[in-house]
Chain A
């Protein structure tokens, strides 16, 4: 407050250092910045600084420097306001210090080049003081005294340096101003004014410096120096406004000195100085604003001093050493209040006056007269609200809320309580607002009070509950007003009760709409309709009722009568407050209509109409920039156009439109993800699979619970599944892995996944080259099938696949872990055998038979698996891999499996009809030849690893088979096969000997 007033007085000083036009420019910039247009002011000054006119350029540079100071002040005020409210400041001390440092550097740079511009030097001194005071924690609330002490201790060097520099500037200014005066008796008004201001600034600087010091001696010495200077100044200019203003500082200096030394006499002297301001000297011309400001400030300091004295030493901002609290000072404070009421006519609305009143109210409260205290604060609140003094409003409501809690059964003014409720609501403190409004209702005894305050208070309570999402409570409170109105004998919609009831009814109606939308219960929908009917019938003049056309359109839309709604929306006149909302609803309705129309041709027609409406809406909004509602209209236009394009399958346009929309309104998913779904669809259709995947990732990040997530994920999966088989190598495997991931997510989300889902997953994993997972997937499929389908053939198939995958996974470890590999192969072999020969007794016979190189198992042993060609092949491979481990040589078993496979995949001409033969050949051709090659390999391996009869038998069997096929089908199934077979044949021939 102190700084504010000094600034106000300094602002009266004309800046004489620049030319007239430069001054005008500076004043213009000052007006801009005072209205908060800092950027415009900055732009104007920057332009000025670049001017070719040196005077203008100088003014521009100076103005820019001062703008930095203003910026620092703004940040500082925000920071201190947050501390007072107990909020977390959104700017740090370090940031503000930085802005102050920049301001100091900028002004210094100017001042150094203009040493005789004393106005600027004086401003520089002020700035230095401000920066020092911020470092010293000025303006902190009392509860943070410890922080202030620490700040002063931490920054004591810098604080002192800044203050000394400020005093240096003021001294230099004073010297310069004095030097310009040749004859003190013949001073011009401007010279006298400059001298007076410089002397005042110098005296005040001592005071301000003293208060920021941490050491007691420095503080008291500084205060004594300040008292001397201020006293001298006052004596010299006692009949001038500055001289009177010095009294406030003299009073404050004595008060601080008294608190520091624990001297009640000094504090009393301070009070006497403030008291002097209430005397006759200021009574002449009390309407002069500066006098009112000084008086208000004096009253404030008087009351504040009384408060400190009444509460005792610890309550003061400075840790004083006065022995104990003196309640008599409350009386003094109250007496000063009555003087203030009489004297301060013109300045009653000044913040200082209002704050003084708050202190006087505190005095009343301390003496137990809460009613009086509350009444005064109510008045302050009223005035502050009228004058838009938000900080004072905050202080007043905080005090009131505290006192009201302790007011007990004291009956208070309902009007004031209602105001408090409004103020609390405006500050977003819902619970306190409701409490104050309830107290207002409880205090409203007369019919007039009830109409004036109780009903609006009910409405406010309802609004607060609604804002807080407590719809039942909001409706209960609101319907209290409505019921009283409908029961009243003299129903007048424009009476206070009528107006409150109309608003309340509308509010209750909206609450029930939300409730019934949530509960979807007919009884709640009925209640909504009932209250809507009351609103319609009882309050026809209510603004929301008066826009009947709009309401009817909404109702038609609510009834899903979209065409009628569109027509009604089109008829809303441009002057209606709902015009833009109505325009937005047109594409929305057409979209809903298109979605609900089952006949494709008609749906397309509506869709095209929706597209046209959306495009028209965007165009309309573009034509009316800045008008309220157009931004939202633009958004709707863009969104529905893009959506419609997607529905119309105009994919390229969809991508363009939707990407443009999402860039303009990131993360604003009005349709809960349909935006991204459309984009994904379009990318898939255009074959842009990577982009589709990216859009899906975005959808998952931004809208993890979107209803479209599952569908889009499936679509992307399908596209990937279709695409990856067309790729080769790593790209194929990577895409297959991504495909598997999506498919697995889908299966995991399914409560009862089918066995075939896992079979598909197994296939994709196989393509992705992850055999272990593939095996698991097949095993799961088999497990599910066992539980549900129980199709034995299917189960056997899945188990064979699982075993096959297990084998393939094991193969990868053959080189690195040969021993482990053999164990795995043994396990796999058993798994195969379990499937191929489930009956354990038969299996034993088969093993016995296989163990002998002379016996073959009967042909029908494998009959139940005869269609599983690939598993048989794999089984053969597995058996082939199982080296002789005692029971039997698996390789012979593998050879026999291949024989069996060949038997049913290539039956003789005599046995099979030609069509069947052709079909079989087509189906099993490559498998047949794979079996052929594997058989040769197995024979070759046995021959190479054995001797004697075994060697010859194996070699001859293989060699004979090769020769037979070479004669019968020399081209085999391809040149590669012929080549490989030839190599193996040659090797077998070598082993077979003669």
Chain B
């Protein structure tokens, strides 16, 4: 996998619901290269593996992909003959458009997905193929429904979170079951009735659903239960050597939760621990994909920790600016050599520390590198542009003092801020550059 894609994965996280219109799988090769295949048929989906027939760059190919290397898998297609498959694609599109719940006469994704979850439609003779609901339709519908519950619930709807937990329970029962069906109380004629419903057996989605459970518990404010859920997820993924993406997300979110409400210095410790833990796990991964992904996730946590140190120093929290400066430098020089995102982030932080320390020239050159070569990391570039505007007058003054003419640097400083306003008009840094 090239580094850019890995970084994109890390940025994207696991929350995003794939909006694609067709059955498609994105997966990583052992060396980390990400490929995309159109799914033609699926022969097996289990906790550990995905098997089927696909088309890659126009060629048919048998797919046998360990679930740990699945990056994205969308099932349900708007071009399929089967109406349920179409509905699944439609619901996904609605989630992507934030049409999550039914409001009045406007149908939301939840309604489509909920109806799919229990349907026993078999279709009319001669039309079965297009009308029949298949177990995987229900499994993916329930998975997306849980996602909807979480998305609605995290914005303040507690009942949605509760429903999500119930649905996770159902999901686990239906995937853990060895038989092809289980009995479940389902909505029936405006009440509930126990009915026989499809069970699906093990699936690669299980750790993802467990992660969702931890998120829902966190959103409910139940930190201890959420911690347990995160740890359960981490344990499952580690034991079964499942998706490093889930591992990275679970550990990062756990640190994030632990840091909530703490001082910058204490929060930094949480991120540092998580970073070191992920880097340790990275070494234990079985393939390059996992090693690189977890390594970078660890780097991100460490970088965030350094940012907190800087924030503490800025607030005058008893930490000298030299402390984050040294940390950034270390991250840049050690981890940054193999991780451009870390390099740019650490270099930005380092430059900011130098500005705070009135080392104009060094700061200017450090930030310049980010501004000119960090174009793939707009967040860092914005910060760098802002602090370039701050570093320039300090550097120019030093030049003036040494008998040189620092005006050209002073003017360049003004231009960096103009750039910031032109290129990132809505950014808070651009706003700051207007008022500072």
Which residues of chain B have C-beta atoms less than 8 A from A138's C-beta? none
Asked if A73 is at the interface of the complex by the 8 Å CB criterion, the answer is no
| B423 adjacent to A409 (CB under 8 Å) | no
Asked if A435 is at the interface of the complex by the 8 Å CB criterion, the answer is yes
| A473 adjacent to B402 (CB under 8 Å) | no
Asked if A469 is at the interface of the complex by the 8 Å CB criterion, the answer is yes
Asked if B331 is at the interface of the complex by the 8 Å CB criterion, the answer is no
Which among B26-34, B350-358, B368-376 touches the partner chain?
B368-376
Known contacts: A469-B408, A521-B404. The answer to whether A477 contacts B372 by CB under 8 A is yes
CB distance from B145 to the nearest CB of A (A): 25
Which residues of chain B have C-beta atoms less than 8 A from A471's C-beta? 408, 412
CB distance from A898 to the nearest CB of B (A): 61
Asked if A381 is at the interface of the complex by the 8 Å CB criterion, the answer is no
Known contacts: A432-B422, A472-B368. The answer to whether A518 contacts B404 by CB under 8 A is yes
Asked if B266 is at the interface of the complex by the 8 Å CB criterion, the answer is no
Residues 51 to 65 of chain A near chain B (Cβ within 8 Å): none
Query: C-beta contact mask, B341-381 vs A, less than 8 Å → 1, else 0?
Result: 00000000000000000000000110011011101100000
Write the chain A residue with the least CB distance to B369: A476
Which residues of chain B have C-beta atoms less than 8 A from A442's C-beta? 375-376
Which residues of chain A have C-beta atoms less than 8 A from B406's C-beta? 518
Asked if B432 is at the interface of the complex by the 8 Å CB criterion, the answer is no
| B376 adjacent to A431 (CB under 8 Å) | no
Which residues of chain A have C-beta atoms less than 8 A from B98's C-beta? none
Known contacts: A431-B422, A432-B422, A472-B368. The answer to whether A518 contacts B373 by CB under 8 A is no
| A470 adjacent to B418 (CB under 8 Å) | no
In the bound complex, how far is the Cα of B320 from the Cα of A308, in angstroms?
60
| B368 adjacent to A476 (CB under 8 Å) | yes
Which residues of chain B have C-beta atoms less than 8 A from A441's C-beta? 375
In the bound complex, how far is the Cα of B187 from the Cα of A352, in angstroms?
60
Known contacts: A476-B368, A518-B404. The answer to whether A469 contacts B411 by CB under 8 A is yes
Asked if B8 is at the interface of the complex by the 8 Å CB criterion, the answer is yes
Asked if B195 is at the interface of the complex by the 8 Å CB criterion, the answer is no
Asked if A620 is at the interface of the complex by the 8 Å CB criterion, the answer is no
Which residues of chain A have C-beta atoms less than 8 A from B403's C-beta? 520
| B368 adjacent to A473 (CB under 8 Å) | yes
Asked if B399 is at the interface of the complex by the 8 Å CB criterion, the answer is yes
**Number of A residues contacting the other chain (C-beta, 8 Å)?**
26
Residues 93 to 122 of chain A near chain B (Cβ within 8 Å): none
Which residues of chain B have C-beta atoms less than 8 A from A468's C-beta? 412, 415
In the bound complex, how far is the Cα of B402 from the Cα of A368, in angstroms?
56
Write the chain A residue with the least CB distance to B419: A431
| B373 adjacent to A476 (CB under 8 Å) | yes
| A431 adjacent to B408 (CB under 8 Å) | no
In the bound complex, how far is the Cα of B407 from the Cα of A473, in angstroms?
15
Asked if A388 is at the interface of the complex by the 8 Å CB criterion, the answer is no
Asked if A169 is at the interface of the complex by the 8 Å CB criterion, the answer is no
CB distance from A324 to the nearest CB of B (A): 16
Q: Choose one: A409, A432, A473; the contact of B412 (CB below 8 Å).
A: A473
Which residues of chain B have C-beta atoms less than 8 A from A435's C-beta? 423
Asked if A480 is at the interface of the complex by the 8 Å CB criterion, the answer is yes
| B412 adjacent to A470 (CB under 8 Å) | yes
CB distance from B2 to the nearest CB of A (A): 8
Write the chain B residue with the least CB distance to A524: B404
Which residues of chain B have C-beta atoms less than 8 A from A514's C-beta? 408
In the bound complex, how far is the Cα of B265 from the Cα of A559, in angstroms?
57
| B418 adjacent to A520 (CB under 8 Å) | no
Asked if A836 is at the interface of the complex by the 8 Å CB criterion, the answer is no
Query: C-beta contact mask, A761-801 vs B, less than 8 Å → 1, else 0?
Result: 00000000000000000000000000000000000000000
Among A432, A470, A514, A519: residue with most chain B CB under 10 A: A470
In the bound complex, how far is the Cα of B403 from the Cα of A518, in angstroms?
10
Q: Choose one: A439, A473, A518, A519; the contact of B372 (CB below 8 Å).
A: A473
Which residues of chain B have C-beta atoms less than 8 A from A431's C-beta? 418-419, 422-423
CB distance from A959 to the nearest CB of B (A): 75
Known contacts: A469-B408, A471-B408, A514-B408. The answer to whether A409 contacts B8 by CB under 8 A is yes
Which residues of chain A have C-beta atoms less than 8 A from B369's C-beta? 476
In the bound complex, how far is the Cα of B374 from the Cα of A477, in angstroms?
11
Helix, strand, loop or mixed for chain B's interface?
A: helix
Q: Choose one: A469, A476, A515, A518; the contact of B415 (CB below 8 Å).
A: A469
In the bound complex, how far is the Cα of B372 from the Cα of A465, in angstroms?
10
Asked if A461 is at the interface of the complex by the 8 Å CB criterion, the answer is yes
Asked if A438 is at the interface of the complex by the 8 Å CB criterion, the answer is yes
Which residues of chain B have C-beta atoms less than 8 A from A520's C-beta? 403-404
CB distance from B92 to the nearest CB of A (A): 14
CB distance from B351 to the nearest CB of A (A): 13
Among B365, B368, B369: residue with most chain A CB under 10 A: B368
Asked if B405 is at the interface of the complex by the 8 Å CB criterion, the answer is yes
| B422 adjacent to A519 (CB under 8 Å) | no
Which residues of chain B have C-beta atoms less than 8 A from A477's C-beta? 372-373
| A469 adjacent to B376 (CB under 8 Å) | no
Which residues of chain A have C-beta atoms less than 8 A from B368's C-beta? 472-473, 476
| A472 adjacent to B412 (CB under 8 Å) | yes
CB distance from A57 to the nearest CB of B (A): 58
Which residues of chain A have C-beta atoms less than 8 A from B372's C-beta? 461, 465, 473, 476-477
Write the chain A residue with the least CB distance to B422: A431
Write the chain B residue with the least CB distance to A431: B422
In the bound complex, how far is the Cα of B8 from the Cα of A473, in angstroms?
27
Which residues of chain A have C-beta atoms less than 8 A from B423's C-beta? 431, 434-435
In the bound complex, how far is the Cα of B418 from the Cα of A431, in angstroms?
9
| B408 adjacent to A518 (CB under 8 Å) | yes
In the bound complex, how far is the Cα of B420 from the Cα of A935, in angstroms?
84
Residues 375 to 421 of chain B near chain A (Cβ within 8 Å): 375-376, 399, 402-409, 411-412, 415-416, 418-419
In the bound complex, how far is the Cα of B423 from the Cα of A250, in angstroms?
44
In the bound complex, how far is the Cα of B406 from the Cα of A792, in angstroms?
47
Which residues of chain B have C-beta atoms less than 8 A from A521's C-beta? 402, 404
CB distance from A425 to the nearest CB of B (A): 14
Residues 470 to 490 of chain A near chain B (Cβ within 8 Å): 470-473, 476-477, 480
| B399 adjacent to A518 (CB under 8 Å) | yes
Q: Choose one: A432, A439, A473; the contact of B371 (CB below 8 Å).
A: A473
Write the chain B residue with the least CB distance to A442: B376
In the bound complex, how far is the Cα of B406 from the Cα of A469, in angstroms?
12
In the bound complex, how far is the Cα of B404 from the Cα of A519, in angstroms?
5
In the bound complex, how far is the Cα of B399 from the Cα of A431, in angstroms?
27
Among A439, A473, A514, A515: residue with most chain B CB under 10 A: A473
Which residues of chain B have C-beta atoms less than 8 A from A438's C-beta? 375
CB distance from B394 to the nearest CB of A (A): 14
Which residues of chain B have C-beta atoms less than 8 A from A469's C-beta? 408, 411-412, 415
Write the chain A residue with the least CB distance to B381: A438
Write the chain B residue with the least CB distance to A480: B373
CB distance from A119 to the nearest CB of B (A): 52
Write the chain A residue with the least CB distance to B407: A518
CB distance from A511 to the nearest CB of B (A): 10
Which residues of chain A have C-beta atoms less than 8 A from B371's C-beta? 473
Which residues of chain A have C-beta atoms less than 8 A from B411's C-beta? 469
Residues 187 to 229 of chain A near chain B (Cβ within 8 Å): none
Which residues of chain A have C-beta atoms less than 8 A from B415's C-beta? 468-470
Write the chain B residue with the least CB distance to A468: B415
Which residues of chain B have C-beta atoms less than 8 A from A434's C-beta? 419, 423
Which residues of chain A have C-beta atoms less than 8 A from B405's C-beta? 518-519
In the bound complex, how far is the Cα of B408 from the Cα of A520, in angstroms?
13
Closest 3 CB pairs of A and B: A438-B375, A431-B422, A519-B404
**What are 30 A-B contacts with C-beta separation under 8 Å?**
A409-B8, A431-B418, A432-B422, A438-B375, A439-B375, A442-B376, A461-B372, A465-B372, A468-B412, A468-B415, A470-B416, A471-B408, A471-B412, A472-B409, A472-B412, A473-B368, A473-B371, A473-B372, A476-B368, A476-B373, A477-B372, A477-B373, A514-B408, A515-B408, A518-B405, A519-B399, A519-B402, A519-B404, A520-B403, A521-B402
* Contacts A434-B423, A519-B402 known; 7 new A-B pairs at CB < 8 A: A472-B412, A473-B368, A473-B371, A473-B372, A476-B372, A480-B373, A521-B404
A contacts, CB < 8 Å to B = 409, 431-432, 434-435, 438-439, 441-442, 461, 465, 468-473, 476-477, 480, 514-515, 518-521
